DNA sequence: ACAACCGGGACAACCCGTTGCT
DNA sequence: AGCAACGGGTTGTCCCGGTTGT
């Protein structure tokens, strides 16, 4: 029963990971319905039986491949924030990190969360749920940064965390779609500039001029 | 019982139009790969042969159904502008019209342009091309409004039409995706409020404060 | 109500005949199973409904088209014999007439009787029956010529009509197939030369040497 | 029960061969266009997926099934010649072997070469090419026998190998068609008798009488 | 034990021959 | 006579287990 000592990664686990790494771009580019098992066979280099040994179904593989793809994006967010101090700097770092994916995608085929959200909304509840959770965690990430920024006094206390999360994610996802659709990264650049300006406008001002949600 | 005089539309043309009207939501919700001919058969009420009498292939039907769906959106833009005078009012009317589609979609399943852009980018060049053209026409629409607004003196002359087109379409499309993904129309409401404020900030100011693209 | 005088051929009958003339090559080249109704629509220039007004089914059209094609061959046999006196001359004329079809086919696609015999033997009893009858009539034609030739004393009395009918038709049909398969009319030329020599060897000889079916 | 040693043929290869054996008669009887995949499914006992595992398309299966059918005929020619010495004996053996197929067909449905030549001439270039090659090899076989017979002195030196190949194959193929069409093997018997006599007349004669291609 | 092979059906898109309505 | 609609049939691919071989 004693587990083998010092053989940290079994061979099967490495194969499994390799399948995920190679399947994720296929799902991200072709979508769930458009990604055939034979395409996955080609991408992974394994035979169909080999894939089914690790994943019980195309469905299960798609869910894990999605999680894997999201984990790459999340990690890039974490890496981006590492060297940044302050709410504005961290938000800008996230905006930059996402914006870079327009020219250097982490997973080919665009943002996996948006792609999955678009395709699976009316067809695949399990995938749609995963996309929902991923997006929710991003909003919470932004929300926690805003909250910390307000507490530290960096951000205007009237700043609405929900507002900002919506504006940032919506604009970035939309701009990524535009850049890919029109094969022109300047859309993403404009969106990044716009968001950066917007985020910086949220700083607490010594003057009495309001910025956001001005009271009527 | 005099027979109807001058019936301008033959029966076949009416059937063809009905197919488009009923196929468009299927493609918009399920995507091209996910929309099977049998689903289209069910949606249209015709048999397979009946559909193929009017459209040579699923491909041809998808292209025309996309164009039909886009035409609905474009018409809603045109209707929205009709009662509006001035660049800001017209832009806000377009933002409102698009924003309404989050709660009262013109075609079920979200924005056909975004959906098609996401799915077809790496799989279906012909569809991707149509989505590109549709988006381009929207950008040109916004561009022409901005240009007119600058000429009339309503808008700040430093306003960049490209910038605005990108920001507006990216934010709206992203927000629609968010609203649908999270089943929460408030995302779209926040985006509309943000964009409305942004557009209004582009008005020519009697003071010398700059708004957009401030010269460094 | 009086029918128009001196209009011997109704328009419908002409259309019907035109359908046959244009459908026969399609069936002869593609076979019954390979000739689709849409191919026949294209060949005839009519719509499907138009064809079905004249022929109750593809089957009925195929049968009549076969008869039409055979009638062309039969007529060419009759024309060929017209100027020939004597059994040998008439047989050679028929051989010549058939042989010419290798380079100048009466109906594109080869001999309709052989084509139909090959395709329909195991699949279409009604067509196979028509092919059988056509071939039988050719054998009877040759048989009657041989019989007349023996009665007139032109042919050796030991000549077997069945034998000759088999040899002539088998060799000609086989040679036509070879010429078409190998795109080389010399096969037919050799067959014609061989048969002509053979037929001429059947003439009653003044000597006592035997020609055919020599007694062992 | 020692397990079988060195089983050289994997299971898949056996299935593949079985498909060919069972598909060949279907194609030979119904033709390429007339042989539906469902008929092949029925004949082979496999499901469609099983067949498509071994052959990429109906087309590929048809080509290999044709080759298989031809190989049976070619093998029967080889077997027939085995016990025969001399050109005349070998030619007669081939004639006999082919003639037997009228009553005991190697592949049900007639000669695959002729059937394919007839059906595919104007519709299926790849199959027509295969039929052409098969026929060409038969002509070369006859040609090589004639050549050897002339060199050994058995055959009249004026014998034309092309002539003989055409006459033999044309007559045999035509007679097989006649026998099948008219359900009467006597047509083939007459053709065999005729060809046998003809071949034997090609022997070198001690006298100076000519046999073939007499100079005018 | 694990991966490759192989077979199974259901379903894909598409076209067939046919009929009825205009 | 032509257009429109019909379903059943076409070939071909799908995703997925069971078996075989290593």
Rounded to whole angstroms, the distance from the CA of residue C117 to the C1' of nucleotide E9 is 37
Residues 131-160 of D with CB under 7 A from strand F: none
Cα–Cα distance for residue pair C165/C136, rounded to 1 Å: 10
Write down which chains contact chain A via at least 3 CB pairs under 8 A.
Answer: B
Positive or negative: CA dihedral C139, C145, C147, C150: negative
pLDDT at residue D2 in the model = 37
* Band of pLDDT at residue A166, cut at 50, 70 and 90: very high
Q: What's the average model confidence in pLDDT over B62-83? A: 96
Largest CA distance in chain B: 78
Q: For residue C96, what pLDDT is reported?
A: 97
Q: Residue C10's pLDDT is what?
A: 62
- Tell me the whole-structure pTM to 2 decimals: 0.88
Chain A: closest CA distance from residue B3 (Å):
45
Verify D-C touch: 3 or more CB pairs within 8 A: yes
pLDDT at A11: 63
Q: Look up residue A174 and give its two tokens.
A: 């939309």
pLDDT of amino acid B208: 52
pLDDT tens per residue across span B180-197: 999 999 999 999 999 999
pLDDT at C210 over 90: no
- Is the separation of the CB atoms in A41 and A48 below 8 Å? yes
Distances (CA, A) of B87 to B135, B153, B172, B206: 20, 10, 18, 17
pLDDT over 80 at D145, yes or no: yes
On the question of pLDDT at B206 being above 90, the answer is no
The predicted pLDDT at position B8 comes to: 45
Split at pLDDT 50, 70, 90, the class of D120 is very high
Q: How confident is the model at residue B79 (pLDDT cuts 50, 70, 90)?
A: very high
User: What mean pLDDT value characterizes chain C?
Assistant: 92
B126 touches chain A (CB under 8 A): no
**What is the average pLDDT across B7-12?**
60
Residues in chain D: 216
SS3 string of A83-115? Answer: CCCCHHHHHHHHHHHHHHCCCCCCCCCCCHHHH
Mean pLDDT of B107-133: 96
Q: Touching check for D168 and chain C: CB below 8 Å?
A: no
Q: Is the pLDDT of residue C6 over 90?
A: no
What mean pLDDT do residues C114-130 have?
Answer: 97
Which residues have CB under 8 Å from C128's CB, separation 6+? Answer: C116, C117, C120, C121, D181
Nearest alpha carbon to residue C65 among C141, C1, C126, C144: C126
pLDDT tops 90 at residue C2? no
Q: Is the pLDDT of residue D210 over 70?
A: no
Query: For a pLDDT cut of 90, what percent of chain B falls above it?
Result: 87
Model confidence at B13, in pLDDT bands (50, 70, 90)?
A: confident
Q: Is A167–B30 a contact, with Cβ atoms under 8 angstroms apart?
A: no
Element (H, E) at A21: helix A11-34
List own/partner pairs for C177-180 with CB under 8 A and 24 or more apart.
C177/C110, C177/C114, C177/D114, C177/D117, C177/D118, C177/D170, C177/D173, C177/D174, C178/D135, C178/D166, C178/D169, C178/D170, C178/D173, C179/C102, C180/C102, C180/C110, C180/D117, C180/D121
Handedness of CA A43, A44, A46, A51 (dihedral sign): negative
Chains B and D touch (3+ CB pairs under 8 A): no
Mind telling me how many Å the CA of D3 is from chain C's nearest CA? Answer: 45
Which segments of chain C does DSSP mark as H helices, in order?
11-34, 37-44, 48-54, 58-82, 87-100, 112-120, 125-151, 161-181, 186-200
Q: Is residue A58 within 8 angstroms of chain B, CB to CB?
A: no
Q: What is the pLDDT of residue C1?
A: 45
Average pLDDT of span C150-166: 97
Residue C207 has a pLDDT of: 59
How much of chain A, in percent, has pLDDT values that exceed 70?
89
pLDDT band at A15 (very low <50, low <70, confident <90, very high): confident
d(CA D147, CA D90): 12
Q: Is C100 exposed, middle or buried (0-12, 13-18, 19+ CB in 10 A)?
A: middle
**8 A C-beta contact, residue B75 and residue B36:** no
pLDDT-wise least confident of A113-117, B46-50, C196-200 = B46-50
The set of residues, in sequence order, having a beta carbon less than 8 Å from that of D93 and lying 6+ positions away, is: D80, D81, D83, D84
Q: How confident is the model at residue A52, as a pLDDT?
A: 87
pLDDT band at B207 (very low <50, low <70, confident <90, very high): low
Mutation target vs D (from C25, C29, C142, C181; most D CBs, 10 A cutoff): C181
pLDDT of B5 > 80? The answer is no
Q: How does pLDDT run across D20-69, given as a tens digit for each residue? A: 999 999 999 999 999 999 999 999 999 999 999 999 999 999 999 999 99
Of C203, C95, C207, which Cα lies nearest the Cα of C146?
C203
Comparing B208 with B191, the larger pLDDT belongs to B191
CB B138 within 8 A of CB B94: no
pLDDT digits (tens, 9 = 90+) for A175-213: 999 999 999 999 999 999 999 999 999 998 765 544 454
* Separation in Å, CA of B211 to nearest CA in chain A: 11
Beta carbon of C42 within 7 Å of strand F?
no
Nearest to D101 by CA among D203, D167, D175: D175
Please provide the average confidence, as pLDDT, over all residues in chain B: 91
Put simply, whether C159 touches D (Cβ < 8 Å) is no
Statement: the CB of D95 is under 7 Å from strand E: no
Least confident of A60-64, B9-13, B84-88, D108-112: B9-13
Residue C107 has pLDDT above 80, yes or no: yes
Tell me the percentage of chain B whose pLDDT exceeds 70. 90
Asked whether the predicted pLDDT for residue A10 surpasses 60, the reply is: no
Measured CA to CA, the distance from residue B139 to residue B121 in angstroms comes to 19
- Give residue D6's pLDDT: 39
- Which pLDDT tens digit goes with each residue over D74-92? 999 999 999 899 999 999 9
D50, C50 in Cβ contact below 8 A?
no
Q: What is the CA radius of gyration of chain B?
A: 20
Distance in Å, alpha carbon of C125 to nearest chain D alpha carbon: 11
Nearest CA in chain C to D122: C29
Question: What average pLDDT does range D106-123 have in this prediction?
Answer: 97
Interatomic CA distance for residues C145 and C142, integer angstroms: 5
For F10, nearest residue by CA–C1' is D36
Half-sphere exposure of D115 (CA within 13 A, CB side): 29
Phi, psi of A9 (to 5 degrees): -120, 115
Query: What is the distance between the alpha carbons of residues B149 and D83, in angstroms, rounded to a whole number?
Result: 102
Q: What mean pLDDT comes out for the span D190-201? A: 98
C174/D170 touch (CB, cutoff 8 Å), yes or no: yes
Give the model's pLDDT for residue A7: 40
Supply the pLDDT for residue D73.
98
Residue-wise pLDDT tens digits, C32-46? 999 999 999 999 999
- Long-range (24+ apart) CB contacts under 8 A made by D13-20 are D15/D46, D15/D50, D15/D54, D16/D54, D16/D55, D18/D44, D19/D44, D19/D46, D19/D51, D19/D54, D19/D55, D19/D61, D20/D61, D20/D64, D20/D65, D20/D68
Q: Does D197 or A45 have the greater pLDDT score?
A: D197
Using a CB-CB cut-off of 8 Å, the residues of chain B touching A128 are: 181
Give D57's contacts (C-beta < 8 A, 6+ positions apart): none
Q: What residues form DSSP beta bridges with D203?
A: D155
D 42-81: CB within 7 Å of strand E: 46-50, 52-54
């Amino acid at each position: 029963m004693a587990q083998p000592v010092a053989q940290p990664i079994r061979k099967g686990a490495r194969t499994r990971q390799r399948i995920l790494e190679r399947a994720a771009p296929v799902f991200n580019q072709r979508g769930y319905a458009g990604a055939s098992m034979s395409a996955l066979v080609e991408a992974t280099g394994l035979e169909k039986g080999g894939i089914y040994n690790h994943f019980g179904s195309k469905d299960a593989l798609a869910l894990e491949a999605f999680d894997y793809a999201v984990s790459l994006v999340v990690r890039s967010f974490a890496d981006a924030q590492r060297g940044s101090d302050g709410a504005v700097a961290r938000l800008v770092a996230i905006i930059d990190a996402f914006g870079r994916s327009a020219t250097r995608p982490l997973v080919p085929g665009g943002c996996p969360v948006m792609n999955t959200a678009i395709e699976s909304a009316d067809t695949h509840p399990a995938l749609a749920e995963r996309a929902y959770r991923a997006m929710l965690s991003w909003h919470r990430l932004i929300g926690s940064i805003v909250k910390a920024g307000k507490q530290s006094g960096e951000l205007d206390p009237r700043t609405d965390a929900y507002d900002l999360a919506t504006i940032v994610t919506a604009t970035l996802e939309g701009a990524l779609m535009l850049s890919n659709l029109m094969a022109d990264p300047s859309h993403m650049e404009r969106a990044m500039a716009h968001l950066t300006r917007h985020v910086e406008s949220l700083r607490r001002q010594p003057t009495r001029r309001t910025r956001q949600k001005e009271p009527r």
